[in-house]
Structure 1
Amino acid sequence: MAAAVLLGPARRTALLTALCFTVTCAIGLQGWTSVSLGGFDLGIFDQGVRGYAHFGLPVSTLKSFHHEFPPGFSLLGDHFSPVLALLAPLYWIWDDPRSLIIGQSLLFAAGVPLIRRIAGYAFAGAEPRTARRAADLAGLVYGLGWPLLVAARVGFHEVAFAVPLTLLMLERGLARRYGTVLLAALLLCCTKEDLGLLVGAYGLVLLLRTRRTDDRAGRRTGLGLLLGGPVASAAAITWLIPAMGGEPGYYWNYGSLGTDGGDALRNLLHDPFLLVQAAFDQPLKPLLLLWLFGTMLLLPLRSATVLCAVPLLAERILSSNPNHWSIARHYDSLLWPVLLTAAIEVLGRLSATGRPERSLRRARRLGLGAAGIALVAAVPIGLVPLVLPSSWAPKPSEAALVRAAALIPDGASVEADNQIAPRLTARTDVVLVDGTPRGREYVLTRGDKRSFPFKTDKEQAERIQLLLAHGYRQLWAEDGVVLLHREGDEPVPGEHVPGPGSKPVQDEVPTDVGHNLFRG
């Protein structure tokens, strides 16, 4: 009896959920311990959620100063993500950036029961033993899949909510619980402005699946999502983000199609081939598609659910921003629930009782093959570094940043290196050291190792000399790290603080980005 309880479905779900949480949280905390998580993006979200925790707007000086947004700008003017306010209670318990790492891991882990239920629906026509094994394998592959491990490795992002909410929408749709589908869709639209397009695509999926059934509620829900999702995205991009201080068209990275959405649509109607040109103008773009679908043995392509991935994939494939083309960032975690659900649905159909034995064997091979690839890919990305002591220790330069940061008093105004910024957000008024001097009391930077957003370490060394020549004194230096203190009111050439008329700017992507599928 004890063995039966130990191996029961609830216990297996709990164990797989705990495994997902433990691994993703450990990867995130490893990044913190090794000082590899930067102000972009962990520090930005820490400042924003801390604003919510104090019942204010999600203001981030790291974001607004660096990108020259005017005073009063909040993160809602960058991406429409009010759902992040739900994390504010974590800061009432522990006012620390690591609360976000823990919160993200909890949200990722919440997807394990959902993906197991999805497998249960998909394999309802299979033998009970096959269905049980499929649910277990689905939970394991989801929780240790490389997209979640990559997202954990880069710190924190809105994907923390997008992943379980997407799974909730898909799972409740299979259960025909359309009220919860609508709730999940609404929360997705409040997670990031472009996720309304995913919601709209799922509406199309529901319409396709209910068109020849008596499921009128499903058709009504599908139609509502198909229309409401894109409208929500358009409203957020056109009105809500600018109303919060955002710059219209700030994230338009599709110049090869047109100057804006309307211009792109007109150009595509005139010459549809522009779409193909934009999608394959860089070698990394088809490689990304090959990786995403090839590693899953093309299984998702046989399910209508894969349509939900089309808008998000199109955003990346058509983009001119090289950061969107690799798998080394958080973007694939947005696709992970969709692709995995689609693959499970296909395998469930192939495994149904009554199908030829050849089909059943093929389904087993495909399922084990796709699962094996996902888990093998996770080994070098996140699992091996967890057991290497050297991966937990900061390098000399990063360790020096931590020691220097301890010398800065609470409440000081600081310009800080990207890697140390998250450790100063809770107790100082910190902005990023970038191409423009900001005139702050303290400047903590490096002169011999390139840090975002500088293009070369030479630029950083020149900045140090400029500050020393105009009113700053060196307080501390070690392993290339320098801590400077402003001694007077002498202006620094080029010194600037964003004002009411500031025009937001984007970063110039370094020339070494966009050439390797596995590097950011």
Structure 2
Amino acid sequence: MTTLTVAASVRVEPEIPTRPARRWPYLPWALAALFLLAYTLLSFRRHDQALTTGYDLGIFEQAVRGYAEGHAPTVALKADGFNQLGDHFSPVLALLAPLYWLWPGAKALLLGQAALLALAVHPLTGYAQRRLGPGAAVVVGVGYGASWGIASAVGFDFHEICFAVPLVAYAVVALGEGRLGHAVAWGAPLVLVKEDLGVTLAALGCLVAWRGARRLGLLTAAFGLAATALEMLVLLPAMNPGGRFAYWTEMDSGAATHGHSLWTLPLDLITPADKARTLILLLAVTAFLAVRSPLLALAVPTVGWRLASANPNYWTTYYHYSAVLMPIVFAAFVDALVRHPGLRRRALAVSLAVTVLLVPGYPLGQLGTGLLWAHSDRAAAVHRLLTRIPDGARVAASNRLVPQLTDRCTVILFDRPERWNTAEWLAVDEGSPMGWPLTPEQELHELALAKDDGYRVVVSDGGVTLLHR
């Protein structure tokens, strides 16, 4: 009786004919290795040219350095004694500590991120090859690896979300192949990557339940929601100096500014135009075929909170916010191609064409330009001047100079007098300020204040000024 009851509760989908087993067994790993090389070259060259930033690479290096030194992940860039776990709940960063022991510095984080993002190529390419053959696998592997969402993440420093990308990739592929227990096992660690990913895990649980494993799926969904609630309402406020989750205000201001309601919500989710553009490009890389797969539902939580927020950075195709969506849309693409074999050839051709057309507009396109490889007088001046600062010093630095120092100094941001006047050294990027957190005019004003406050110019070269008090 029990066996019959369990069997009746399992949702059985019709068996869809697939092509024979893979013909190129090393293809997934070969593509992963190719993109590991590309991501590493891009991120290392940007760092060597002093184009990386304190917000966010410097922040994460300070956190990882804390773990590596055996204490809390304190981030002086945020505030003296600030615990990174009070900003985002990302204890998974501790896994980078062994790499940081071997190679202290920002490049350890950049290499770790490149490896994690490239790792996701393996399950997606393997999935496509098992179901569709090697030709489709190449399109899917290259489509994900060269996608604008991954390129944007690699091209803007380091972020904890890189741990989520391979976990999501393996989980969604296991879900697509009906290995529901494996899907949950891959998805469960997401709650240690970032606080909002518990909702993604809950979505995964709902899909697992829909596929037939109801108890497992509902337990997974409950666990994901409970983890997000615990992290946002208890753990993050407990470790944040303000005693609350720091990002509630962005959601609150979104409601206040845009007047979200049930009547206006559909329009709010696609306006301003940046939102619609992001949604279009998210689906265009799959020739819009991903919408025909239920696997795409896994993207709903991340897309939802981004489009509902008042922060314009969340709406765009830049930065790292779309990285976790890329494995979902490409796994959904494979699933849809299996379900609709008549569309296969045209859809693959469109997907490849869109991928190729978008590459030059995003950071991976920089690998083919001379600017990334050319000698930079500014970068040379940065590296030359910063060697004058002794190890262990307290330094206030411009945003682009911060990650050049975080491996050996206590670094804060050169932004306001009550902060920078606590530092022994000031490192100010006058020649090429990025306009954040200070405009070029404000930066020069603060520099004049520092000179009046007793800081003397040690050296000034290539637009970089070093001061000491």
Distance in 1 between the 2:223 and 2:358 partners?
Answer: 37
Q: Which amino acid aligns with 1:420?
A: L
Q: Return 391-400 or 20-29, whichever deviates more.
A: 391-400
Match of 1:245 in 2: 240
Q: Secondary structure at the match of 1:334?
A: helix
Distance in 1 between the 2:103 and 2:277 partners?
Answer: 42
TM-score, with normalisation over the residues of structure 1?
0.80
Asked if 1:234 corresponds to 2:229, the answer is: yes
Match of 2:220 in 1: 225
Match of 2:174 in 1: 172
Match of 1:32 in 2: 47
Query: Quick check: 2:382–2:401 contact (8 Å CA) kept in 1?
Result: yes
Query: Quick check: 1:34–1:392 contact (8 Å CA) kept in 2?
Result: no
Cα distance change, pair 436–237 in 1 and its aligned pair in 2 (3 A): farther
Matches within 5 A, 1:31-50: 31-50=46-65
Match of 1:185 in 2: 187
Unpaired runs of at least 5, structure 1: 1-6, 66-70, 124-129, 211-217, 352-358, 487-520
Asked if 1:480 corresponds to 2:463, the answer is: yes
Q: Return 286-295 or 402-411, whichever deviates more.
A: 286-295
Task: Give the Å deviation of 1:417.
Answer: 1.1
Task: Give the Å deviation of 1:380.
Answer: 4.1
Match of 2:265 in 1: 275
- The superposition leaves residues 459-516 of structure 1 with CA deviations (integer Å, 9 ceiling, x where unpaired) of 0111111111111111111233211111xxxxxxxxxxxxxxxxxxxxxxxxxxxxxx
Cα distance change, pair 185–452 in 1 and its aligned pair in 2 (3 A): farther
Query: Quick check: 1:257–1:275 contact (8 Å CA) kept in 2?
Result: no
Match of 1:441 in 2: 424
Distance in 2 between the 1:256 and 1:481 partners?
Answer: 38
Cα distance change, pair 371–246 in 1 and its aligned pair in 2 (3 A): farther
Matches within 5 A, 1:430-509: 430-438=411-419, 439=421, 440-486=423-469
Q: Which amino acid aligns with 1:41?
A: D
Matches within 5 A, 1:185-224: 185-210=187-212, 218-224=213-219
Distance in 1 between the 2:450 and 2:44 partners?
Answer: 34
Q: Secondary structure at the match of 1:254?
A: helix
Cα distance change, pair 363–10 in 1 and its aligned pair in 2 (3 A): closer
Corresponding residue to 1:89 among 90, 95, 98: 98
Task: Give the Å deviation of 1:14.
Answer: 2.6
- The superposition leaves residues 343-386 of structure 1 with CA deviations (integer Å, 9 ceiling, x where unpaired) of 111011122xxxxxxx2xx3211122112212331244244422
Distance in 1 between the 2:45 and 2:336 partners?
Answer: 36
Match of 2:118 in 1: 109
Q: Secondary structure at the match of 1:92?
A: helix
Distance in 1 between the 2:369 and 2:157 partners?
Answer: 19
Match of 2:71 in 1: 56
Cα distance change, pair 456–395 in 1 and its aligned pair in 2 (3 A): farther
Asked if 1:74 corresponds to 2:76, the answer is: no
Name the count of aligned residue pairs.
444
Cα distance change, pair 397–231 in 1 and its aligned pair in 2 (3 A): same
Match of 1:307 in 2: 297
Distance in 2 between the 1:93 and 1:478 partners?
Answer: 33
Distance in 2 between the 1:196 and 1:146 partners?
Answer: 25
Q: Larger helix proportion, structure 1 or 2?
A: 2
Match of 1:4 in 2: none
Task: Give the Å deviation of 1:309.
Answer: 0.8
Distance in 2 between the 1:155 and 1:463 partners?
Answer: 26
Task: Give the Å deviation of 1:274.
Answer: 4.4
Match of 1:288 in 2: 278
Distance in 1 between the 2:26 and 2:297 partners?
Answer: 33
Distance in 2 between the 1:104 and 1:185 partners?
Answer: 19
Q: Which amino acid aligns with 1:254?
A: M
Matches within 5 A, 1:148-159: 148-159=150-161
Cα distance change, pair 295–142 in 1 and its aligned pair in 2 (3 A): closer
Q: Secondary structure at the match of 2:362?
A: helix
Cα distance change, pair 409–254 in 1 and its aligned pair in 2 (3 A): same
Distance in 1 between the 2:396 and 2:434 partners?
Answer: 13
Cα distance change, pair 436–96 in 1 and its aligned pair in 2 (3 A): same
- The superposition leaves residues 169-205 of structure 1 with CA deviations (integer Å, 9 ceiling, x where unpaired) of 1122344444433332221111000011111112222
Match of 2:3 in 1: none
Percentage of matched positions with identical amino acids? 33
Query: Quick check: 1:37–1:155 contact (8 Å CA) kept in 2?
Result: yes
Q: Secondary structure at the match of 1:328?
A: coil
- The superposition leaves residues 297-320 of structure 1 with CA deviations (integer Å, 9 ceiling, x where unpaired) of 221111111111111111111111
- The superposition leaves residues 71-124 of structure 1 with CA deviations (integer Å, 9 ceiling, x where unpaired) of 532111110111111111101211121011111111122212211232245x2x
Task: Give the Å deviation of 1:8.
Answer: 5.3
TM-score, with normalisation over the residues of structure 2?
0.88
Cα distance change, pair 162–246 in 1 and its aligned pair in 2 (3 A): farther
Structure 1 vs Structure 2 CA RMSD: 2.3
- The superposition leaves residues 14-49 of structure 1 with CA deviations (integer Å, 9 ceiling, x where unpaired) of 321211111111111111122111111111111111
Distance in 2 between the 1:145 and 1:301 partners?
Answer: 18
Query: Quick check: 1:16–1:140 contact (8 Å CA) kept in 2?
Result: yes
Task: Give the Å deviation of 1:394.
Answer: 6.3
Task: Give the Å deviation of 1:256.
Answer: 5.0
Match of 1:333 in 2: 323
Q: Which amino acid aligns with 1:72?
A: G
Distance in 2 between the 1:236 and 1:447 partners?
Answer: 40
Distance in 2 between the 1:305 and 1:107 partners?
Answer: 22
Cα distance change, pair 120–386 in 1 and its aligned pair in 2 (3 A): closer
Match of 2:12 in 1: none
Task: Give the Å deviation of 1:138.
Answer: 1.8
Task: Give the Å deviation of 1:245.
Answer: 2.3
Q: Secondary structure at the match of 1:255?
A: helix
